[in-house]
């Protein structure tokens, strides 16, 4: 535990193994970490993977994953796994905004605003969300019960309750309604989860995390936490108070990230894990760990890798810049990943320029390893009372370092 009483190192136990926290969970949206085999994911040090209920619902269908023996069996990942509820992806169809915005939106709020060039392909009502499939344009519906059914069929160790994602563009009034609606959906998720746990009693127990909404408003975040932790299943034999853990969701303005996690950590029970959905930038990871978040997931390390952007302790650079054409050195000096111990920047520069598939694999291995190793080093620093020193040193180097080709 850090001196502030919030940041902490610990262990999450699942039917498929334990996760030492703080931990970075690698995203395998469609039951694959793009461009990597599970063995490569494991070799990068990943303790757990997170797949997406929405994408797997559309393709191949949760019944097929269930028949395969669940997500882990289907994708040959023997370790702990998570699925997110599909809420974020479904609602993103509605507006097309990113999760973390490095911008001030004060005075810009309007419930009808959508991202430029996007159509509104999802509609929220009290019962759920109707949306158009991005694959074939067919209409679908997600509700609390449907999300739970899908996630039980997918069979991950940790699932998330179906929540309404708002954006920072929504008005305060809409955020209030949304927190209340998400609370009603959380109750329905918990009830359905209890029923499905009984109905599928031959399967390993799947933990359910409630999701905290409330945008940048302290009172709404605290109210959402209090509501979730007091929720009890209406199904006999499932009287435990609250959820197995909690996800901190919703769009987050970067400058409020630490505060939002802290408000939640102060309200949520100490003995349950807290997952921060969708972050991986080093400053965000330090802020979130300091404030008491335990696990994180994000597509960014692999997405940026596929675009040739390489993370190092001295900042992020693009390996396709001319400076790297004859750089016969690792992507990052001292990195212990497979890519850095076998290949050079010059080789990756060539592979990207030649549009070779291997470029993406090798870059993804490094970026995932970088992020996993960063969070692991935060955990070790917490255990040894060196968190503040690591934070100052790492962030000074990452944001102030003179790396050639910085992006
Ligand atoms: Zn590396």
Q: How many other CB atoms are found less than 10 A from the CB of residue 376?
A: 17
pLDDT at 107 (0 to 100): 56
**Element at 23 (helix H, strand E):** strand 23-27
- The domain limits of the chain are 10-298, 311-400
Q: Which SS3 state, helix, strand or coil, does residue 312 take?
A: strand
Q: How far apart are CA 32 and CA 57, in angstroms?
A: 15
Q: Which residues, 6 or more positions from 17, have their beta carbon under 8 angstroms from its beta carbon?
A: 47, 78, 79, 80
CA of 334 to the centre of ligand 1 (A): 8
121 is catalytic: no
Q: How far apart are CA 121 and CA 134, in angstroms?
A: 9
For residue 191, CA distances in Å to 126, 145, 154, 249 come to 17, 9, 18, 21
For ligand 1, a single-atom ion, which residues have Cβ within 5 Å? 335, 337, 340, 366
CA of 268 to the centre of ligand 1 (A): 36
**Element at 187 (helix H, strand E):** helix 172-199
Q: How far apart are CA 209 and CA 270, in angstroms?
A: 14
pLDDT at 402 (0 to 100): 72
CA of 8 to the centre of ligand 1 (A): 27
What are the pLDDT tens digits along the chain (407 aa)? 888 889 999 999 999 999 999 999 999 999 999 999 999 999 999 999 999 999 999 999 999 999 999 999 999 999 999 999 877 777 666 544 444 444 455 555 666 555 555 555 678 888 888 888 888 988 989 999 999 999 999 999 999 999 887 877 888 998 999 999 999 999 999 999 999 999 999 999 999 999 999 999 999 999 999 999 999 999 999 989 999 999 998 878 889 999 999 999 999 999 999 999 989 899 999 999 999 999 999 999 999 999 999 999 999 999 999 999 999 999 999 999 999 999 999 999 999 999 999 999 999 999 999 999 999 999 999 999 999 999 999 999 999 877 777 88
Q: What are the strands, taking DSSP E only, across 215-263?
A: 245-248, 252-253
pLDDT at 92 (0 to 100): 67
Under CATH, to which class is 10-298 assigned? Answer: alpha beta
Phi and psi at 56, nearest 5°, equal: -75, -25
336 is catalytic: no
CA of 336 to the centre of ligand 1 (A): 6
Question: Within 13 Å and on the Cβ side, how many CA atoms surround 22?
Answer: 34
pLDDT at 253 (0 to 100): 85
pLDDT at 358 (0 to 100): 98
CA of 373 to the centre of ligand 1 (A): 10
Residue 87's closest CA among 177, 16, 159, 171? 159
Instruction: Read off the tokens for 385.
Output: 């009372």
Q: How far apart are CA 345 and CA 324, in angstroms?
A: 6
pLDDT at 98 (0 to 100): 46
CA of 318 to the centre of ligand 1 (A): 14
CB of 406 closer than 8 Å to CB of 320:
no
Q: Which residues, 6 or more positions from 197, have their beta carbon under 8 angstroms from its beta carbon?
A: 152, 205, 206, 238
Q: Check 66, 84, 157, 244 and give the catalytic one.
A: 84
Q: How far apart are CA 403 and CA 407, in angstroms?
A: 9
- The neighbouring-strand residues paired with 309 are 318
Q: How far apart are CA 268 and CA 182, in angstroms?
A: 17
CA of 358 to the centre of ligand 1 (A): 15
Q: Check 66, 104, 297, 336 and give the catalytic one.
A: 297
CA of 152 to the centre of ligand 1 (A): 36
Q: Which residues, 6 or more positions from 184, have their beta carbon under 8 angstroms from its beta carbon?
A: 126
Q: Which SS3 state, helix, strand or coil, does residue 20 take?
A: strand
């Amino acid at each position: 535990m850090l001196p502030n009483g919030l940041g902490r190192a610990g262990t999450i136990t699942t039917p498929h193994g334990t996760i030492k926290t703080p931990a970075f969970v690698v995203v395998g949206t469609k039951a694959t970490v793009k461009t990597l085999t599970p063995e490569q994911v494991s070799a990068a040090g990943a303790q757990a993977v997170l797949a997406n209920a929405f994408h797997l619902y559309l393709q191949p269908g949760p019944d097929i994953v269930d028949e395969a023996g669940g997500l882990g069996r289907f994708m040959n990942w023997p370790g702990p796994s998570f699925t997110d509820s599909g809420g974020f992806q479904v609602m993103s169809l509605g507006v097309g905004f990113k999760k973390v915005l490095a911008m001030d939106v004060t005075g810009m709020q309007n419930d009808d605003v959508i991202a430029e060039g996007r159509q509104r392909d999802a509609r929220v009502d009290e019962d759920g969300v109707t949306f158009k499939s991005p694959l074939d344009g067919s209409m679908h519906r997600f509700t609390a019960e449907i999300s739970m059914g899908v996630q039980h069929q997918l069979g991950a160790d940790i699932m998330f309750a179906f929540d309404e994602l708002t954006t920072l563009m929504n008005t305060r009034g809409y955020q209030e309604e949304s927190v209340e609606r998400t609370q009603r959906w959380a109750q329905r998720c918990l009830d359905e989860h209890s029923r499905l746990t009984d109905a599928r009693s031959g399967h390993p127990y799947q933990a359910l995390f409630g999701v905290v909404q409330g945008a940048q408003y302290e009172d709404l975040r605290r109210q959402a936490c209090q509501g979730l932790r007091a929720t009890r299943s209406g199904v006999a034999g499932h009287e435990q108070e609250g959820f197995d853990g909690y996800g901190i969701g919703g769009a987050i303005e970067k400058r409020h990230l630490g505060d939002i996690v802290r408000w939640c950590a102060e309200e949520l029970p100490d003995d349950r894990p807290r997952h921060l959905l969708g972050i991986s930038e080093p400053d965000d990871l330090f802020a979130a760990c300091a404030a008491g978040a335990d696990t994180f997931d994000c597509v960014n390390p692999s997405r940026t890798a596929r675009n040739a952007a390489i993370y190092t302790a001295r900042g992020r650079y693009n390996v396709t810049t001319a400076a790297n054409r004859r750089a016969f050195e690792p992507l990052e000096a001292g990195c212990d990943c497979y890519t850095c111990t076998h290949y050079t920047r010059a080789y990756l520069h060539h592979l990207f320029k030649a549009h070779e598939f291997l470029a993406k694999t090798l870059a993804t291995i490094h970026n995932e390893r970088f992020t996993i190793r960063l969070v692991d080093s935060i955990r070790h620093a917490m255990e040894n009372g060196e968190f503040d020193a690591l934070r100052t040193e790492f962030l000074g180097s990452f944001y102030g370092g003179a790396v050639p080709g910085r992006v």
